[in-house]
Amino acid sequence: MTLRPTDRPVATCPDGRDDDRRESTDSSTDGAVRDPTVPDGRTDAAEGAEPPASPVPGADRFVAAVAVDGEVLFAGPSVPAVLGVERAALDGEDLLERVHPNDRDPVADALSAVATDRVVTHRLRHANGGFVWVESVVDEELAPEFGGRVVTARRVDADQTFPERFREFLEYGTDLVTVVDADGRVRYESPSVEEVLGYEQGSTVGRSPLGYVHPDDRERVTERFYRALNDPEAAPTLEYRYRTADGDWVWLESRTRSLPADAAVGRLLINSRDVSERKARERRLTDRNERLDRFASIVSHDLRNPLSVIRASMEMARLKGDTEPLERGERAVDRIDQLVSELLTLARQGSGIDEPTEFALGGVAREAWETAGSADATLVVGADARVRGDRGRLRQVFENLFRNATEHGAPGEGAGEPAAGRADSASVRADSASVRADPAASRPTDGGEDAPLTVVVTATDGGFLVADDGPGIDPDHREDAFDPGFTTREDGTGYGLDIVREVVESHGWTVGLRGGDADPACPEDVTVPDGACFVVRGPGPEAAEAGEPWIDG
């Protein structure tokens, strides 16, 4: 804490005379306490006058009479302007309780009878919960009319120290400027702290900024922060997450600079800006690059094999004059076409939803069934829901889940085996008879293996699900179901469910298989089959952030 020899602030009047602006005992007024805000040297204490009822606008100092034990015996009219509290609230209060805990010993020493230095720079708690820096000058002699010492407290915080032109720049600047002292505690934060972080200016003064840093970033930031405090040549630039007044986290980019050793404002200047949007773009770019690497691997391995089959088949047909090998080549071409289509779909996923719209869940499911359903299966739409999201991408989710059900879930087939009698696109039924409102009406009554497959789509208490009454997913495969390239079919690509996951996560939702204690609650009038069941969870309209996708079941 800064302790300096007593110096009495002196201002010069317009006529050149010295005007003692320090609030102190004046023998010419019978030892009364003279307040610099009261003209002609008159005082509130003199002749029983009442103190002014309103604070002095723009005052940067106040006078007080304080007992040796810290009790405030008198508070001047400028107290509200400096500390934001009424004079009456300060009268009788223990001044040391208002002093920052780290500064109490020097202040108590300055008030004592044996002090040699009676000037101390310290922090006083403001009404807004923060602290302001003041320089207090304590008179050596007791004021007889109060029985305590006269203390003149003058603001010396960074806001008063910066030149006026720089203060205006800080007031309107968008970057956050922070000044910390040698102890690593905030002495000043620019007004932009309210816009960037939501804190009232001054509310963090006297506190360490490290307490607001995300736990995962704190060790790294702490090490570089104290290195900058102790090494004037160090000027680190670092990115980290910082807690806002609302409890959220924003990414800050901070550049630090050491201040001169004799600077009155503090030890370290930190210039910070919110880079959350940039970090989000970087994450999306990283995800996209990872997908491109994955696609390159897919093209390198998965497409070379069918191309080799085509070349060998064509060569054999030429040598033998036999067209049967060409059929193998045709199947290989079909597989390549399917792979290319699904890879292109994957390439378009993963980014956020730019322009979400509101639509009915059941309507999208019926549209998807018209193009991806099977003539040997029945779609049942249970409880409907309103959805805010990308309608086209969500239709892709349903199409892939319907294909997965009809290919893997035919009753009587083993899990992962090709479904018999799969209809091609020309035989897919799109008439209203393929959609039933009553799940029980679509279920087989004899339980025979030739009974048609039933696929149910229904809203739940936290999203929606797609289930079928096929044999389900082998427990050994549950962990791998959404992995890229995983398939149990010889002619499968293994990217159908990967596309589902990408689309759902691009909405900010999650998708998984039914099972465990977290299974969603379904409407009582909807029967959910016991086969494969894919559960999508998303926030409701009230829980989602403004403009973000949601599911209102």
Whether 164 contacts 172, CB under 8 Å = no
* Among candidate residues 505, 397, 378, 521, the one with its CA nearest the CA of residue 461: 521
pLDDT winner (highest mean) among 290-299, 363-372, 518-527: 363-372
What element of type H or E holds 140?
A: strand 131-143
Q: 106 or 434, which is more confident?
A: 106
User: Which residue do the tokens 């509130």 mark?
Assistant: 44
For the residues 214-234, what does the mean pLDDT come to?
A: 92
Return the DSSP state at 50: P
Torsions phi, psi for 521 (to 5 deg):
-85, 135
Fold of 61-155: Beta-Lactamase (3.30.450)
Architecture of the CATH domain 353-408+452-552: 2-Layer Sandwich (3.30)
Burial 275-296 (b: 16+ CB within 10 A, else e): beeebeeeeeeebeeebeeeee
Q: 371 or 366, which is more confident?
A: 366
Q: Tell me the per-residue pLDDT of 443-460, one tens digit each, with 9 for 90 and over.
A: 443 444 556 899 999 999
Whether 205 has a pLDDT exceeding 80, the answer reads: yes
Whether 414 has a pLDDT exceeding 90, the answer reads: no
pLDDT band at 239, cuts 50/70/90? very high
pLDDT at 226: 92
Q: Which residues pair with 12 in a beta bridge?
A: 18
For the residues 77-102, what does the mean pLDDT come to?
A: 90
Whether 256 has a pLDDT exceeding 50, the answer reads: yes
Q: What's the CA gap between 403 and 345, in Å, rounded?
A: 15
For the residues 338-343, what does the mean pLDDT come to?
A: 65
Whether 54 has a pLDDT exceeding 70, the answer reads: no
Q: What's the CA gap between 112 and 106, in Å, rounded?
A: 10
What are the DSSP calls for 193-229, one per residue? HHHHT-PPTTTTTTS-GGGGB-HHHHHHHHHHHHHHH
Alpha helices (runs of H) in 231-354, residue ranges in sequence order: 276-301, 304-320, 324-347
Q: What's the CA gap between 377 and 450, in Å, rounded?
A: 11
Six token digits for residue 509 = 């939702």
| Helices 276-301, 324-347: crossing angle, 10 deg rounding | 170
pLDDT at 66: 93
Look at domain 164-276 and name its CATH class: alpha beta
For the residues 453-468, what does the mean pLDDT come to?
A: 93
Outline which parts of the chain fall under CATH 1.10.287. Answer: 280-347
For the residues 57-72, what does the mean pLDDT come to?
A: 86
Helix, strand or coil for residue 338? helix
pLDDT at 400: 87
pLDDT band at 489, cuts 50/70/90? low
* Among candidate residues 345, 390, 388, the one with its CA nearest the CA of residue 498: 345
Helix, strand or coil for residue 103? helix
Q: What's the CA gap between 274 and 137, in Å, rounded?
A: 41
pLDDT band at 39, cuts 50/70/90? very low
Q: What's the CA gap between 306 and 312, in Å, rounded?
A: 10
Outline which parts of the chain fall under CATH 3.30.450.20. Answer: 61-155, 164-276
What percent of the chain clears pLDDT 70, i.e. is strictly above it? 67
Outline which parts of the chain fall under CATH 3.30.565.10. Answer: 353-408+452-552
Torsions phi, psi for 108 (to 5 deg):
-60, -40
pLDDT at 155: 86
pLDDT band at 32, cuts 50/70/90? very low
pLDDT at 1: 36
pLDDT band at 464, cuts 50/70/90? very high
Whether 243 has a pLDDT exceeding 80, the answer reads: yes
Architecture of the CATH domain 280-347: Orthogonal Bundle (1.10)
pTM of the complete model beyond 0.85: no
pLDDT at 518: 60
For the residues 181-197, what does the mean pLDDT come to?
A: 88
